[in-house]
Amino acid sequence: MSILLEANDISISFGGIHAVQNLSFQVKKGEVLGFIGPNGAGKSTCINLITGVYMPDTGSITFDGVKLTEKHTIRERVHMGMGRTFQTPRPFGNMTVYDNIFTVALQQNSFAAAHEKTKEVLKLTEMEHWADVASAKLPIEMRKWLDLARILANDPKFIMMDEVMAGLNPNEMENSFALIERLNQAGITILFIEHVLRAVVRVCSRVIVINEGRFLAEGEPREVLDRPEVIEAYIGGKRS
């Protein structure tokens, strides 16, 4: 498998907080890579570094063979094929579910094609019966799906999901797993950020663990989660 994204020795600090330190990892084309770590480990910050919200203090990120610089704005990276969800979903609350997706679809399509694209996305995410609902009135798990659906309207190569399972009940989680599998089968590479370990084992082919902004472990999910240093990071957080 070829490499889609490579982070090479990236670091960023906010004031005195070293949110990410000398982190290197690779995402292979077509995989679902789990990215886990306790709260405050620097997972969301990594997404922000990859998407261009922040620039790393040191190190570099390469996406699809292109080394990303300050010239690659958030917007440009989106049009290179990146998509991300937010830890707290952010629908366009003044629009229906349909228009949320349609607006994004308009970027790469004519009006007629955007309508087709919207219907296609609604079908893929099984959100057809929510289409005319005001997005501000959606229940939380549907908001998370809407975040995903909107990204899909851009035909991304790579999606970063920031804790999409948090706050879902087992049934809703099961539906989300199925959706992620469908997306992956459609050829989309996924960086699956999660706090819930069970979820990672269920959908990821490989997992990376970070703690306090640093690389901790990497490997097959079940095996990695059994490693003492990973258990310790999660339970105690008193490594020293």
Ligand X SMILES: Nc1ncnc2c1ncn2[C@@H]1O[C@H](COP(=O)(O)OP(=O)(O)O)[C@@H](O)[C@H]1O
Positions touching Mg ion (CB under 5 A) are 43-44, 87
Residue 62 touches which member of ligand X, Mg ion, other proteins, none, C-beta under 5-8 Å by kind: none
CA distances from 26 to 4, 73, 166 (A): 8, 21, 25
| Closer to ligand X by Cβ: residue 48 or 154 | 48
Minimum CB separation from ligand X for residue 215, in Å?
13
DSSP state, residue 96: B
C-beta of 85 vs 176, nearer to other proteins: 85
Amino acid found at 240 = S
In the shown chain, the binding pattern of residues 14 to 53 toward ligand X, with x for contact by CB under 6 A and - for none, equals x--x-x-----------------x-xxxxxxx--------
Joined together, the tokens standing for residue 212 give 């306090």
Conformation bin of residue 199: beta by default, left when phi > 0, alpha when psi is -120 to 50? alpha
Q: How far is the CB of 24 from ligand X (least distance, A)?
A: 17
Provide the minimum distance between the beta carbon of 43 and ligand X in the complex, in angstroms, as a whole number.
Answer: 3
Contact set with other proteins (CB under 8 A) = 51, 74-75, 78-79, 83-84, 86, 90-95, 99-100, 102-104, 106-107, 150-151, 154
Contact status, residue 150 vs residue 101, Cβ threshold 8 Å: yes
If one asks whether residue 230 binds ligand X (CB under 6 A), the answer comes out as: no
Q: How far is the CB of 187 from other proteins (least distance, A)?
A: 20
Name the binder of 17 from Mg ion, ligand X, other proteins, none, CB < 5-8 A by kind.
ligand X
154/176 with CB nearer other proteins: 154
Q: Which amino acid is at 113?
A: A
CB-closest chain residue to Mg ion: 44
Q: Compute how many residues bind ligand X; rule: CB under 6 A.
A: 11
Q: Which is nearer to ligand X, 15 or 65 (CB)?
A: 15
**Interatomic CA distance for residues 154 and 160, integer angstroms:** 14
Q: Can you read off the two tokens belonging to residue 183?
A: 């997306």
The least distance separating ligand X from the CB of residue 37, rounded to whole angstroms, comes to: 6
Give the three-state DSSP class for 101. helix
Determine the Cα angle at 209 with ends 150 and 14, to 5°.
75
Whole-number Å distance between alpha carbons of 39 and 1: 31
Site residues for ligand X, 73-92, by CB under 6 A, read none
Between CA 235 and CA 199, with CA 203 as vertex, the angle to 5 degrees is: 35
CB atoms within 10 A of CB 192: 25
Residues that bind ligand X (CB under 6 A): 14, 17, 19, 37, 39-45
